[in-house]
Structure 1
Amino acid sequence: MFNPSRDEARLFLFESWRKRRTGELLTPLEDLTAQLIDKHPEYHTLFDDPERNQDKDYAPDGNVVNPFLHLMMHLTIEEQISIGQPQGIREQFVRLTRKYESEHEAQHAIMDCLGEMIWQAQRNKTAPDAAVYISCLEKQ
């Protein structure tokens, strides 16, 4: 999935969950996605009903977490850790996993910094800066 649209990304999440629940064969990425959804039981009813939730919007006001964005950020972090980019992400993940005694909670801490880097890039109209990301992680 190289630059999917919002609808394509959501469909991928829904299909991964559906395949997991029905026992269908999953690709490695679908399996990882289904595992991430499984770790978020608060989203299960949403993913159980794609017709009702495919087009659901979430305001960026911070009051309600966008489950689609949340899971796609988890996938982004998983990929970053697997390829070791940006430089230092693996070490920060290991450190935060020890700190929180949970890989999943470590990813949530990383997600805060990923969001901060993206927000700064949007605000400044610049490319995302890995140095901002890693610096934020070092403060976690």
Structure 2
Amino acid sequence: MFSPSQHDVRSFFCTTFRKQREGQVLTPLEAVAADWIAEHPEYHAELADLEQALQTVYDAEAGRTNPFLHLSMHLSIAEQVGIDQPRGIKQAFELLRAKRGSAHDAQHEVMECLGKMLWESQRSGKPPDGDSYIDCVRRRATRDHA
């Protein structure tokens, strides 16, 4: 299993942002990341300064969103949907995307389900429950937007 360090993740996104701005050739993974970076201009200043990015502490309790975690979740969800793993996530995502009319909005809702599943797994010490994750996405696809 690939387990990049915090340094690796932050370097990846900052380098991808720099390469994108400079018109350099991107790897396939960088191209996917660049699309999500483009969707989040509020993160561009942080992505433009690698040294600062490597030093910054994002305190959720202080209301600080971690752009690297957020973008990593976008990449994870895109990969899950692309390979339909856990099985059924592709269909559940497509239902949600159709309901919301936006892949980006749908991804943010899936992110909530993914975060919940990971939190419950960590809290219980049990493996992540892919079925409950997909059920969460399906429920969001079948209810009205809050």
Between stretches 58-67 and 39-48, larger displacement belongs to 58-67
1:61 to partner: Cα distance = 2.4
Q: Deviations over 1:15-53 (max 9, x none)?
A: 111100111111010111111111001001111111222
- TM-score, normalised via structure 2 length: 0.91
Give the alignment of 1:1-140 within 5 angstroms: 2-61=2-61, 63-140=63-140
Between stretches 63-72 and 48-57, larger displacement belongs to 48-57
Letter in 2 for 1:47: L
Letter in 2 for 1:99: K
Counterparts of 2:97 and 2:35 in 1: how far apart (Å)? 18
Counterparts of 1:2 and 1:31 in 2: how far apart (Å)? 19
Letter in 1 for 2:77: I
- TM-score, normalised via structure 1 length: 0.95
Number of matched pairs: 140
Q: Which has the higher contact order (CA 8 A, sep 6+)?
A: 2
User: Which runs of 5 or more residues in structure 1 are unaligned?
Assistant: none
1:125 to partner: Cα distance = 0.9
CA RMSD of aligned residues (A): 1.4
